[in-house]
Structure 1
Amino acid sequence: MEDQRKEPRTHLIYYLRVYDPADNGLFGHVVDISKSGLLITSEKPIEKNRQYVLKIEDASTFDDFFTIGVQAECRWCQSDESNTQYDAGFRLVDPSDRMNTMLASYH
């Protein structure tokens, strides 16, 4: 990987579900989070250097679950140790105020 993460990240206790809004299917789960990026685990490989429009479950309040739309660019993807899942690093593209508020709640 030519560009390593420079920001601190928070490993999540509860993995947030990520959906593909095109079909509302499960895209994967957010495993850790930083103020400008995400680590998503998926059952299928994710094309790197491609931008995705996704919906991320917001569980920051636990009172009311909802999803937040976000655009993110996949920077890298590799199979995990078990070779049954794929880990992919995403850079957030112009996150909304709502997304920034959610990110801040995890730090």
Structure 2
Amino acid sequence: MGAEKRREQREHLIFYLKIYHGADKEFLGRLGDLSRKGILLISKDAHTPGKTIPLSIDISDLHILSAKKSIECTALVRWSHKDINPDHYLTGFEIIDIASQDVEIIEKVVDSIGFAH
């Protein structure tokens, strides 16, 4: 999905937070950018568009933001393709289910470690 179709601009982050599969806590990759509506995952593997995945974003190093250790959500894979670095894939997710408390934490994360591009 291109930026022209995106409803909300994502912010690049100065820290690449770890993302895990929400159910089994398998490491998936790093967070590239973030908004209340979407996530960019940088990983070693491609993901199947149309698949729904529970995600857990590790924010334990950002203890100043929240007592919570992670942001939990369910996200839909919109697209996945090779990065300019051939060892990595970029995957765009649309967040389809998230608690309001975690949306507030996303806003704090973006305000604290995001930068406009």
- Normalised by the length of structure 1, the TM-score is 0.86
**Higher RCO (CA 8 Å, separation ≥ 6 residues):** 2
Residue equivalent to 2:70: 67
CA distance in 1, matches of 2:101, 2:81: 29
Moved over 3 A (4+): 59-65
Residue equivalent to 2:16: 15
8 Å contact kept, 1:73–1:92 = yes
Write out per-residue CA displacement over residues 18-71 of structure 1, whole angstroms, 9 at most, x where no aligned residue.
Answer: 111343221111110112001111111111111001111125843466122210
Structure 2: which 5+ runs fail to align?
112-117
CA distance in 1, matches of 2:81, 2:26: 21
1:100 counterpart = 2:103: yes
Question: Which structure dedicates a bigger proportion of its chain to helix?
Answer: 2
8 Å contact kept, 2:71–2:105 = no
Between the two proteins, the alignment pairs up a number of residues equal to: 107
- Normalised by the length of structure 2, the TM-score is 0.79
CA distance in 2, matches of 1:100, 1:22: 20
RMSD (Å), alpha carbons = 2.1
Q: How does 1:32-71 map to 2 (within 5 A)?
A: 32-58=33-59, 61-63=62-64, 66-71=69-74
Question: Which structure dedicates a bigger proportion of its chain to strand?
Answer: 1
CA distance in 1, matches of 2:16, 2:63: 13
Aligned-pair identity in percent equals: 27
CA distance in 1, matches of 2:98, 2:61: 16
Residue equivalent to 1:4: 5
